[in-house]
Structure formats: structure tokens, C-alpha cells
């Protein structure tokens, strides 16, 4: 079996992952599990993701060492440290895994939301320039086509930039997890 066929076999049939969600109380509709990240984390996350998405869509590298990025990492570390300490009082390890999954899902949804917002803003600019008969209409239409064409690439690069920062903090939390 060649390396290529082994790789394709893993892609076609991924390893099973199991997460027991029966240990958590359900939300109002008995279907969803409500996970609420800290307000500080949500604020810094939205700020950082907006900036990262704009830089990625402009063809620039996301900044890694900015003050806002440090605040984002600090708020993530504090939120996760607090959650990990709650295992001593009122959370089990399985419940903590579900909560951590909720944070990852929140980050993915926020990156997608920010990129969709950028597309919507560009579409609105095209419509406004068409109505006004602007000279820069062609450039804005080209930008919109560029955003649509490379949407998946921008999504990947923005997610990668955010999760690299999260991974840096996860490395610091490794000892606390043990």
C-alpha cells in the first residue's frame, strides 16, 4: 500500500471521536448545550478576529506580537485556567472537554462571521457605487470577486492565525491540565 493510498484511506474514513454530552444539562429546547465564554474573552476575540480577517483578505500576514493579540491570549488563558480550577469543585473532566469544544466552535463561528461581514460590506459598497455612478466601481467589483474566489483560503488563513495564538496558550496550560 503506497503512502498516497494510506493517506486517502484516512481521509475517507476518519478516526472516530466520541464525546459524551449526556453529562451536561441541556438548554431550553433540550437539544443544545449552552456554553458561554467570558465577556472579556468574547470582546478581545471579536476585535482580534476582525483585524486578522481584514489583514488576511488584504493579502498581508496577520500580526502576531501586537498588544491586542497579547490581551486575547491573556483572556483565553485566564478563562481556561478558571475552568480548569473548577474541576476541583463542580466540573468533571468530561464536562470540561465539552466546554473547551464550545470555545473552539465559538472561535470558528466568529472567524466565519467576520469574513461574511467583510463580504457583505464589499457588496454594499458595490451597490452604493453602482447607484452613484462612481469611478471606483470596477476596482470594488474586482475586490468582491477576489473575496469570493479566495473565501476558503482566507477562512483557512484566519483560522490558522487565531488557533496558533490559542496553541501558544495551550502549551502554557499543559502542566495545569495534568
Question: What pLDDT digit, counting tens, does each position of 11-44 carry?
Answer: 776 566 666 656 666 666 666 666 678 888 889 9
Would you say 62 and 56 are in contact if contact means Cβ atoms under 8 Å apart? yes
Q: What is the mean pLDDT of residues 91-102?
A: 77
Q: How much is the pTM?
A: 0.77
Task: List, in sequence order, the alpha helices (H) in the chain.
Answer: 3-12, 39-57, 67-86, 93-132, 137-149, 151-177
Residue ranges covered by each domain of the chain: 35-177
Q: In the chain, pLDDT over 70 holds for what percent of residues?
A: 85
- Please name which of 173, 163, 172 lies closest in space to residue 62, comparing C-alpha atoms: 163
Amino acid at each position: 500500500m503506497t503512502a498516497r493510498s494510506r493517506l486517502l484511506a484516512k481521509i475517507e474514513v476518519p478516526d472516530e471521536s466520541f464525546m459524551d454530552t449526556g453529562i451536561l444539562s441541556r438548554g431550553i429546547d433540550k437539544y443544545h448545550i449552552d456554553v458561554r465564554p467570558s465577556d472579556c474573552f468574547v470582546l478581545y476575540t471579536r476585535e482580534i478576529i476582525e483585524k486578522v480577517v481584514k489583514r488576511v483578505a488584504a493579502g498581508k500576514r496577520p500580526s502576531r506580537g501586537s498588544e491586542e493579540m497579547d490581551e486575547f491570549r491573556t483572556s483565553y488563558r485566564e478563562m481556561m485556567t478558571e475552568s480548569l480550577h473548577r474541576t476541583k469543585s463542580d466540573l468533571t473532566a468530561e464536562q470540561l472537554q465539552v466546554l473547551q469544544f464550545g470555545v473552539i466552535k465559538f472561535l470558528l463561528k466568529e472567524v466565519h462571521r467576520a469574513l461574511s461581514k467583510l463580504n457583505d460590506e464589499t457588496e454594499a459598497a458595490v451597490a452604493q457605487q453602482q447607484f452613484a455612478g462612481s469611478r471606483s466601481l470596477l476596482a470594488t467589483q474586482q475586490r468582491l470577486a477576489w473575496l469570493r474566489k479566495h473565501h476558503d483560503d482566507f477562512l483557512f488563513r484566519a483560522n490558522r492565525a487565531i488557533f496558533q495564538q490559542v496553541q501558544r496558550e495551550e502549551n502554557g496550560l499543559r502542566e495545569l491540565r495534568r
